[in-house]
Amino acid sequence: MTDNVAVPVAFRVLGIPGSLRSGSFNRALLEAARELAPPELIIEVRELTDVPLFNQDLESDRVPAAVRELRSALRHSDGLLLVTPEYNHGVPGVLKNAIDWLSQPPRQSALEGKPTALMGASTGLAGTARSQSQLRQAFVLTNSPVMQQPEVLVGRAPEKFDTMGRLTDQATRQFVTVFLTHFVRWLRQQKRAVQLD
């Protein structure tokens, strides 16, 4: 006799840290998310180090290899998880640059309809609230549904991570776990909505 145990559907999401800094709190937060993710959520990290500045002149037949790879990775994922810092009350240039590349070419955007969630960490109290707000605005134009709640806004980041970049603050770890559980539930809802459409 075999057990009828339902195997959870795995979602593969592309995780992008919005910082190039080697000791980035946001890269560390993304690593913590990978560690804390439920079994049905697989987070594949893609760095933006090699993505050049956006230049629409390259769109026709000279799209840089790093951009082609980034677009392909997003197209083959079930969702997008952006982990963003906040520079001068706004979205970091490297992350905005990646979004500009991913939104092109028109009507063939890799972001079109891609379920997206946002997290962020900063040294200040606001915990990337402004940069996340700006990203939500940009995703209206790319027609990318964004999970609204809960919001992960990690403030005073140096107090939450150890010197090795590990997230050690237990309350933050618990909240990230809750966030990821909600993300999986929301991804299921998005998938059902597409199937019914």
What region, left, alpha or beta, does residue 158 occupy, with left being phi > 0 and alpha being psi -120 to 50 degrees?
A: alpha
Q: Is residue 88 part of a domain?
A: yes
DSSP 8: P
Q: Residue 161's domain is classified under what CATH number?
A: 3.40.50.360
**Could you give the number of structural domains in the chain?**
1
Q: Is residue 5 part of a domain?
A: no
pLDDT single digits (tens) 10-34 = 999 999 999 999 999 999 999 999 9
129: burial class by Cβ within 10 Å (0-12, 13-18, 19+)?
middle
Taken in order 110, 113, 115, 119, is the CA torsion positive or negative? positive
Q: Is residue 37 part of a domain?
A: yes
Q: Is residue 150 part of a domain?
A: yes
Q: Is residue 94 part of a domain?
A: yes
- Stated pTM of the model: 0.93
DSSP 24: -
Taken in order 157, 52, 69, 98, is the CA torsion positive or negative? positive
What is the CB-side half-sphere exposure of residue 136 using CA atoms within 13 A? 14
Closest CA to 151 of 122, 184, 185, 128: 128
In the structure encoding, which two tokens stand for residue 149, read together? 């709640």
Q: Is residue 6 part of a domain?
A: no
* pLDDT at residue 4 greater than cutoff 90: no
pLDDT single digits (tens) 78-133 = 999 999 999 999 999 999 999 999 999 988 999 999 999 999 999 999 899 999 99
- What range defines the domain where residue 126 resides? 11-196
